[in-house]
Every structure is written in C-alpha cells, then in structure tokens.
Structure 1
C-alpha cells in the first residue's frame, strides 16, 4: 500500500513537471519553489494551483501567508542563482532512483515533514520571495553561511529570516552542474543539522532568482521552403539589485537606488576614479548607514565607506528637506546638499535647483552628475568641491512618504521638450516657411494682358535711356 502511494506521488510529480515545462514554452520564465517545516510542525494546507498554472506575485504571497500561518517563524531561505524543474528531473529522484539523486538532504526533508510544492512560479515572483517572507514576519533578512550560523545562537521565540545564497553552474560540462547542485544540497543539510542541534524549529523555502533553462517559443508550423538565420541565444536579463533602505522605528523612510555610483578626485594632475556601486547596492551588501536620520520635514542619508581613494574614512551624505510652497499649494522635497567627507575635509554640492519632486513622489533621473550637464553644482568656492566629481547613473531617491518597501510614482527629470522634439518642431517650422513662400510666389503669378499677333504690326516696346 505504501509503495502504491509512493508510485502515485511520483506519477503526479512527473505530470506536474511535464505540464510546467509545456507551459514554459508559451509563457513567462518560471522557477520551482519548495517549502517545508521542521519535525513536529505542519504547514497549513493550501489548495495547489492547477497543473501548468504559473504562480504570480500576488498568488505566491497568498500561498505563503496561508502556509506559514501555523509554522515556525524562524525562516530559512535557500536562494539559488538559477533553478529549473529540469534540474529535478535530470539530477533528482523524482523517477524513483533516489540513490543517484543530488538532492539527498532536500528529498529526505520533504519525505519526513509537511511541505508545499509549487513547480511553476514566475521568475519575478521568485526573485521577490525574500521581500514576501520579510513581510510575513516583519524582520530584516540576514545573509549568512553555515559557518556563521554555527556560531550564532538563535532564539526560537524571536522571528528571524536567514538567507543562504547558492550558486549554479550552467557550463558545457554537465558533471560540473551536478557537482554544484550536490554541493548546494550539502549546504542545506549542514544548515538543517545546525538548526536541529540548537533545537530551533524552522520553516525552510528553496527557490531561485531565475530559471536555469529557458524554453524558447517556436512557431507551430514550419514551412519546408522557409529559411532562417543563425543567431546567438538571447541572454537572460539581469535581476536588478534592490534599493538601499534606511529604517527608522521599524519602517522604511529613505530609499536610494542607482545603477552606478562613481566619485572622482583631481590630484597629481589627473582624475582618479573610484566605483562605489558594489559597496552600496547588491544582495548581501549591507552598507554602514550610521548617522542617518529622518522625520516629516528632514531626511539625512549617510553612507560610510572605508578605503576609498586611499582615504581611511569616507562619507557620502544626502540632505533632503520637505517644504510647503504656496504657489503650487502642495509639499515638495528637494535634495539641498550632497556632502563628501573624507579624513576631516568636506566637499559640498548643491542640488536644490534640479533635484526636486512632489513630496509624495520619488525623484528619478537617467544621469545625475556634477560634471556633464551638472545637476550638482559646487556649493562654495571655499571648500574642496572643485576637486571632486560625483556621477550617478539611473538615479532614483525618495526621502518622504514611503508606503511599503518600494518607490512611489517617479517624477522624472527629463523635460517634455526633449532634443528630439525640438528638432522635429524646428524642421516642421522650416518646411512650413518654405511652403508658405512657395504658395506666396505662385499667387503672385499674372497672365499677360497683351499677346503678339503675327498678322498685325509687331508690338513695339519703347526704349528709355
């Protein structure tokens, strides 16, 4: 009887995987998600989605909310770079051959505990699962590894979200992928063993940021006479880094994001450049925000760095203020100052003339710089601002009225009359002027009122000197 149930479960799993792969050919990219609870705890029952259905962000939030309502609030998130249902069918034991499976620890945990299996989750929903879990327990995620966890003493009564990043190999050597997945499974086994040793109940989730294999949509009918061009495979879009958050009293009050952050200093006759992007943004990156503050009328975001252009202490400070303007009868926020503090010296830039937005909006600009088309101008000739350049690419900031964990509607810095629009207007105006001049010349044409008669005397035209 037990063997029958096992065979039925494997058949159902195979059917789900097949339908998910079939759905991937005609829909967005999907990744699987697995959740389970520690021994002695049961996940709340959830009505599984129909076979082949892709779980959206809202649906995933609903599933997790219901499943985690009765499970422990010490959450373990195993977040792999890439994962597909094909990895389970190729390297796992879904077909019954459990001895060759690389997911030994994962499958053992699923067999011995209550679990939730979602084979088709949209990649956008899976990429934001950390935020969804954070909202469930209202605790910031902690990125760590098994060695760090072994030194940490968890409290079963205090909710915690522990995130473990796992790599993925997609090289030509299939054994390398198998070895990486086997190593990831060993990491999960170590983490679960540590949690069991400390007698801390947990709820674990295993998913990925994106799919490891993308099945491209192909036309249903191919003509034997058709010809196609060889082309390289489409690269998967990179998952953007989350914005930088500063919290005051448990709620987010300042958000900052940029694709690149670069500071440059002119010394020894040349500009020396330093990229701060990797130290500011990225999953697992926790910049030092000591000195930051926020209230209803004033926000101050302080980014503390070390070893920037050979300076031991380096700070990038954003000062924003919220004011009421009677002319527009609404509140606006402006970025009044951007300070660079380095080893006791200061360089100050003024941004209030260009960086502003309604108080309930965020400000966004494709490029914010102190050099080309400067939005940041030196505040005074007496400080060291002329020696520095600051550059932000795809810059977005919000210092007031933040609802949730994301940016509000963005007020873009791009003006309505862009260079392309101006070129079109000027060209159209020139064409209208040429057309008007041509019509004017045509309307001035007059026919002759006298004609030369060959049988009569010739028309004489008197000559005047």
Structure 2
C-alpha cells in the first residue's frame, strides 16, 4: 500500500494490520516489505496491490525496477532474518501508545519520504530473491556492511551501490526479547540513515525479511461472517489447509538447500565443500570492494571449474576457478589440506593448511592450520570463518599480498578425507567448550565457594565462655592482666 507522509506514524501499523487481516492466506507464508527514499528526493508513485493480494517474485521485481528507474540507485537494504506484520501491530504502538513503539527511526524515515511504499504481504520466496533482483538491476555486487564500516565508505551518486545490512531476530517464548531485538534493529537503521545523511548522497532504502517470524492461523473474512456452525466448519477446513501449506513449505525449503561442491578422483568422492555464503574483498584506494562468489559456486545447475584439484591419503587440494572477479580476468580459490598422525592424541587429524587466492600470476596465502582442524574421519564445520573479524585465517606473512584481501565464509563445512557415500561425515564444530556463559558460571561458583569458606572459618574461630556470673553469688572479678 502507498501511504502519504501526513499522519503516517499513527496509521502505519494500523494499515499493515488491516491489510494482513484481509489476506485470504495465512501469514506464515508472507513477509512485509517497506521501501522509501531519502529526505527531499522524489520517487515515482507506484500503484499499490489490491487488498489481500500477495506480491510474488515477478511483481516485486516490477516494483523495484520502477522505483530504481527514476529514484536513487544507491540502495540500502535492511534484511532481517524473520519478520511478520504482527511485529508491527504488537510492538509499533498501534493503539495510540506511541511511546511504546520500537520503530521510531523507521517511522521518522517514512515521514520524511515523499512517497513510501508499504507491501504488507510479500511471498517469502520473493523476499529471498530481492538481493539477486537488485544486483541484476543495479549491475553491481552487494556489499555486506555494518554501521562502523559504512562510516569509512565514500559513496558516489553517479555510480550505483547495493549496501546490505543483516539484522537479527530473536525466536523464543520470551516476547520481551523479540521487542528488545526489534528496538536494537531500529537503532541500527537510525545509525545507517544518519551516516547516509552526512554523506549527502540520495538513496533508496528497503526493509524486509527472509522468513516470517510468526505462524499464526488467521481466519478469512468469509469464515468470520457466517454463523456458529459454518464458523466451526471453516476452522476445520482451515486447519487442513494449514497442514497442506506447511507440508508444501517444508518441501520448498528442502529443494532450496543446494548440494556441496564435490570433487571426485575416479568414481570416488574425496573432497566436499559447502557454505551458505562465500565472498572476497580487496582494498583499493582506501576502500574495500566486495565480490560474492556464492552464486558462482553453489546452487542448482551451477558447476564450478575444479581443474587442478587433487587428493590422496595424506594431502588434498580443491581449486575453484572463476572469471572476472574484482577486475581480475583469472581468479582461483585454493584449499590446501593435509592429514597426519599425532602421537599425543594417538589418532589422525586433518587440517586446512592454507586458503590461497591466485589471480593474474599473484598468489595471496592465508594460514588456517591453527584454527581449522578436525579428526581425519570427521568433517569441519564453523558458522563463520573469516580473515578480518575474529579471524581463523591469517596472512602468511606481513608482506604477503593477503594483507590486501579479505576472505569470508558463512556456515562453512569442509571435508578432504574419508568421504563416504558422497556425504559429509559427522561434523566437528569450531565452537569452543568453554563459552562465555560457562566461564561466568564457573567464576560465580568459585566466588560463592570462597565466601562460604571464609564464613565457616570465622565460625570455627568462635570460643565458648569458660566463666559465668552467678546472680545469687558475688560478682566475678576478672583482673585486667588476664
């Protein structure tokens, strides 16, 4: 829905909640999408969808294309893990309590925009493809950033840029935790918009999510109008439809999970690699330029070039070849692994010795053997393997070209030995046993034990009196010398 700026804060969540209630489908398949431009920048007024209509992938691509053809082509995408319309109705102060709203920065940005676009019901399959659609329309790679790195970036209004900010969402029974996380996400939005305002560069902002945050069964308007008997029948039929939609959703999720990169020596698979995200960055003229290698490495119908890969019982090397990466016509990403027997543990371990970048005759080397390792019969898995933030990969030396590069793997899993049946073995996770919570518990317990020990020691120092005063007899005289 296209909403004017007058009276927007009070009407934002009301309109979102009304349109979601009119939706014929359940909200567990849809996410909202909000689009606006920077203050003082006019954008085309786009026709809103009809009430209850779910925006699909093609229609969303048409909305984005119309907005970017005449509006600013510097796009700021706030991509939350999960979000539903109910988040706005529950935490947006929909009933006049604006002091309780957790979206003050978002509402302020919508008020300052000339023509914001609010789509309450967007298919989550379409929202998952929004980065690819923007990348195709802007003809530029996405830059995954945070407010700290954005302040060091200098944007140009003449050249398009796609800045992606990932926002978390808490899942659990504690509603206050979700409210606090949404409030923190709104603060991040405010920081980003404030930095963009200081750079005086017009931009188009988009706020959406990858998945819905709630799975609430909502009755359609037609079912609610009838009598008691028809209402019960509608509820029973709605449950059946909900079960069918849930089954279809699980099938879609399974089909979306792409397979790993697989290298075979003859008929046997000897190396497997999988990652949710894979990107490289290079430092040029004081700024980092990013390139996402995920679409060229993983996915249905994607066959990366593995020429130069090899494996045997003690060493394995996986070579991924690309073209036109950050201005380099030839680019290779090389994983060098080895396994050997360690006498202390009396078992064989495999290590990722190095991750190398080979481009135009130059080779940059990152060492990973100190942090990336697992038993030889296991695979290695880690949620984040990077060379710049809590690095597990470090440059080989201070003069190595790797100091000008950054490598980032999101949800990495790799296995170079003892692969059986073309599937990963049991994963050895990189998470340490002693987490911050465990250390806090141990220190608190130690402090309580020390306090208890001190108290027992003081009690043991107490002595019983050996002289007592008899009220019927003479008073006891205690000399001062005793």
Q: Give the distance between the partners of 2:40 and 2:321, measured in 1 at CA.
A: 45
Distance 2:422 2:207 in 1: 35
Is structure 2 residue 273 aligned with structure 1 residue 276? Answer: yes
Distance 1:285 1:208 in 2: 20
State the alpha-carbon separation in 2 of the partners of residues 391 and 149 from structure 1. 45
2: CA distance, partners of 1:312 / 1:8: 56
Partner of 1:441: none
1:147 matched residue in structure 2: 148
Equivalence for 1:409: none
Output the aligned Cα RMSD. Answer: 4.7
- Is the CA contact (8 Å cut-off) linking 1:25 and 1:216 kept in structure 2? no
Work out whether residues 144 and 162 of structure 1, in 8 Å CA contact, stay in contact via their aligned partners in 2: yes
**Aligned counterpart, 2:351:** 310
Per-residue deviation, 1:217: 6.6
Q: Secondary structure at the match of 1:208?
A: strand
Aligned: 1:73 with 2:70: no
Contact 1:261 1:391 in 2 (8 A): no
Aligned residue for 1:89?
Answer: 89
State the structure with more CA Rg. Answer: 1
SS at match of 2:118: strand
CA change 1:316–1:83 in 2 (3 A) is same
Counterpart contact for 2:6–2:111, Cα < 8 Å: no
Distance 1:81 1:143 in 2: 14
Query: Hey, which of these two has a bigger chunk of helix by percent?
Result: 2
Q: C-alpha offsets along residues 371-417 of structure 1, whole Å, 9 cap, x if unaligned?
A: xxxxxxxxxxxxxxx977587669xxxxxxxxxxxxxxxxxxxxxxx
The runs of 5 or more residues in structure 2 that have no matched partner are: 224-229, 281-290, 298-318, 339-349, 359-368, 370-415, 425-482
Residues 15-55 of structure 1 show CA distances to partners (whole Å, capped at 9, x for unaligned) of 45223234154587111110111122122111111122111
Q: Is the 8 A contact 1:262 1:390 kept in 2?
A: no
1:165 match: secondary structure = strand
Deviation at residue 89 of structure 1 after TM alignment: 0.8
Could you tell me how far 1:234 is from its partner in structure 2? 5.5
Q: Distance in 2 between matches of 1:47 and 1:175?
A: 36
Equivalent pairs, count: 298
Quick check: 1:292 aligned with 2:322? yes
Q: Is the 8 A contact 2:77 2:206 kept in 1?
A: yes
Distance 1:217 1:40, change over 3 A: closer
Contact (CA 8 Å) 1:16, 1:52: kept in 2 or not?
no
| 1:304-347 Cα shifts (integer Å, max 9, x gaps) | 33667424336899xxxxxxxxxxxxxxxxxxxxxxxxx9xxxx
Rounded to whole Å, the distance in 1 between the matches of 2:9 and 2:190 is 24
* CA pair 27-145 structure 1, distance change in 2 beyond 3 A: closer
Distance 2:157 2:174 in 1: 43
Deviation at 1:108, TM superposition (A): 0.6
Instruction: For 1:345-384, list aligned pairs within 5 A.
Output: none
Unaligned 5+ segments in structure 1 are: 244-256, 266-271, 318-342, 344-385, 395-465
**Residue in structure 2 matched with residue 106 of structure 1 by the alignment:** 106
Q: How does 1:216-255 map to 2 (within 5 A)?
A: 216=217, 221-222=231-232, 237=250
